[in-house]
Amino acid sequence: EAARWEQYLRQAAKTADGERVLTQINVAAPAELDHLDPAICDGIGLVRTEFLFHDQPSLPDEASQFAVYQRIVRWAAGRPVTIRTLDAGGDKPIAGLSMEAESNPFLGLRGIRLSLAYPDIFRVQLRALARAAVAGPLKVMLPMVTVPDEITATAALLDDEVVKLQAAGIPCRRPDLGIMVEVPATALAIERYPAAFFSIGSNDLTQYVTASARDIASVAGLNDTANPAVLRLIGEVAGYGRRAGIDVSLCGDAGGDARLLPLLLNAGVRNVSMAPKMLARAKSVIANWRPS
């Protein structure tokens, strides 16, 4: 069965009309990379860093984070690597860090909100990322951005840590700072957000636009990225990125979904990031798609 699209895995993704579509991978644990050839992808579009904070007696220090980030960047061998800062809270609780008694964790202190609430913890991650950026084209991405101030506040912390690293003679590079587009307020007024790149988080964007949780089975039918309102927002973000010359990718599960991927291509998305096991089939879907 899988053999039908396995032939596509090692090819660069192109539509039936020959238009190039970038296909990147999502990584939730670095061990996933051990048996993967980087040549099958155009880069890593999303590293979920929550794994660093799971099942640990204490928060991971700068040295251990740096080692992990550097290893991922080296694996990619020159391809872009987008590492997301901690996205704790919501469906990703982290013991001792995220709030335990919120009435609605998806609308609570999660993602960048939590990081900015604990700047001493956030600074450690930003320092480790700036150090790993020496090893290759690492980019930093912020989850759950809701207002432009969250980007400027993070940029100030990042710049400050880069200055401190430089003063201490520690090799570092200031990485590009981009954001997840997964809150409707952000998608609806995307031109207000000073980011180096955008990555659409269709999992959260779908749940917030359709008011149906991503983890409640009884509303799974409503939680559909094919909802025209969700697709319209995705199309507007993709269109804005094209006009403004800002890279837009999509790293939610829809990008690797054979039913949804044609709809994303119709909406103008040309850069998708997905679980590695979805790549071959997604490339075959792209190869058979032409603008309608």
Positions touching ligand PEP (CB under 6 A) are: 46, 48, 87, 182, 201-204, 251-252
Q: Which of residues 156-185 bind Mg ion (CB under 5 A)?
A: 182
Nearest residue to 158 via CA among 141, 144, 145: 141
Q: CA triplet 279, 281, 285: central angle to 5 degrees?
A: 110
Nearest residue (CB) to Mg ion, 13 versus 251: 251
Do 131 and 66 touch, CB atoms closer than 8 A? yes
Do 158 and 164 touch, CB atoms closer than 8 A? no
Q: Which stretch binds Mg ion (CB under 5 A): 18-26, 203-211, 229-237, 278-286?
A: 203-211
Select from ligand PEP, Mg ion, none the partner in contact with residue 202, using the beta carbon and a kind-dependent cut-off of 5 to 8 Å: ligand PEP
Nearest residue (CB) to ligand PEP, 25 versus 165: 25
Quick check: 204 binds Mg ion (CB under 5 A)?
A: yes
Nearest residue (CB) to ligand PEP, 175 versus 201: 201
Distance CA 189, CA 201 (A): 16
Provide, rounded to whole angstroms, the least separation between the CB of residue 188 and ligand PEP.
17
Provide, rounded to whole angstroms, the least separation between the CB of residue 162 and ligand PEP.
26
Provide, rounded to whole angstroms, the least separation between the CB of residue 248 and ligand PEP.
14
Provide, rounded to whole angstroms, the least separation between the CB of residue 225 and Mg ion.
13
Nearest residue (CB) to Mg ion, 80 versus 201: 201
Residue 28 C-beta-side C-alpha neighbours within 13 Å: 9
Provide, rounded to whole angstroms, the least separation between the CB of residue 20 and ligand PEP.
22
**Helix residue spans in 80-215 (DSSP H):** 112-117, 119-132, 148-167, 184-188, 202-210
**Helix residue spans in 219-260 (DSSP H):** 228-244
Residues with Cβ < 8 Å from 64, sequence gap 6 or more?
52
Distance CA 39, CA 76 (A): 9
Residue 288 C-beta-side C-alpha neighbours within 13 Å: 13
Quick check: 253 binds Mg ion (CB under 5 A)?
A: no
Nearest residue (CB) to Mg ion, 172 versus 264: 264
* CA distance to 75, 171, 207, 279, per residue, from 24 (Å): 14, 28, 23, 8
Nearest residue (CB) to Mg ion, 62 versus 224: 224
Provide, rounded to whole angstroms, the least separation between the CB of residue 207 and ligand PEP.
8
Quick check: 201 binds Mg ion (CB under 5 A)?
A: yes
Select from Mg ion, ligand PEP, none the partner in contact with residue 252, using the beta carbon and a kind-dependent cut-off of 5 to 8 Å: ligand PEP
Nearest residue (CB) to ligand PEP, 27 versus 172: 27
Element (H, E) at 70: helix 62-76
Interface ranges with Mg ion (CB under 5 A): 182, 201, 204
